[in-house]
Amino acid sequence: MVEKLALGAMLFGTATDERRSFEILDRFVDAGGVWIDTANCYSFWEDASGFGGQSEAVLGRWLASRPGVRDRVRISTKVGCEPTEAGRFPETAEGLSAGVVKNGVEGSLRRLGTDHVELYWAHKPDPVTPLEETVAAFDELVSAGVVGRLGCSNYPVWQVERARQIARADGRVGYTAVQQHHTYLQPRPGTRPTVVHRFGAVSDEVIHYLEHHPDMALWSYTPLLSGRYTRADKPLPAEYDHPGTTNRLAVLDEVAAETGTNRNQVVLAWLTGGSTDVTPIVGVSRVEQLDDAFAGVSLDLTADQRRRLDEAA
């Protein structure tokens, strides 16, 4: 099941220095990991320049220093969120015009030191550029052989479907994956997790759409709430302060005790073992955290444990 885990490289080259990033990447590949997720804007908010590209650059140097490893990994990267003016995000986000998409993938390939990526994402909706233009620009990348599959992140469901309709009508390649925030706990009704974009959280509508479109895959970002399931020094945000959280955590602890694991591992097992195809993206700062994540996606829950987790809320 290790292929079901994507390594989140968001903080490589900024909060996580290059030496530690290389250690994590080496361990990931040695353990059988395949997918590495990044973006052209990672991590502009962590860098003094106010612009991104550091993560892709570190990945590129790692790939260059490990002959043959490029054939063992698949790279997922994104375009659309890089600010065009430092310190002014999201109002100056680059968007998804044809020119931005073309320049974005060229920059990503240059930093990564590769001639293709296996999955390319529209990072967030562009309120200005027509969907037709974005769909055509992404299709051209597939036709050119520099991109394998296409996905969209933080999109409302109607826009996902509309973009796919346009692609079908025009004979173009469309999105076959969505990347949203998805985890076991749910925020209080009427709120949304502070870690996501406006349409970034997985909802019942998203799950319903995926259930009826089996060609679509779900990638889940921040599935472990940045350590808040297990770290006492990182309390849950206010939007999780409600009875549903209490109920879910109680069952989570029960199942963790029964399996001899911890909350993080049970959450990852719950995500990857259900009826919806989910690839969790886990960002780590230490090799030990990566090993814990691998144990989670390899954990098999019983039907009774999954039922109790599902019904806890």
What are the residue numbers of the active site? 42
Nearest residue to 36 via CA among 56, 14, 61: 56
CA–CA separation, 106 and 116 (whole Å): 10
Strand partners, 79: 122
CA–CA separation, 191 and 33 (whole Å): 35
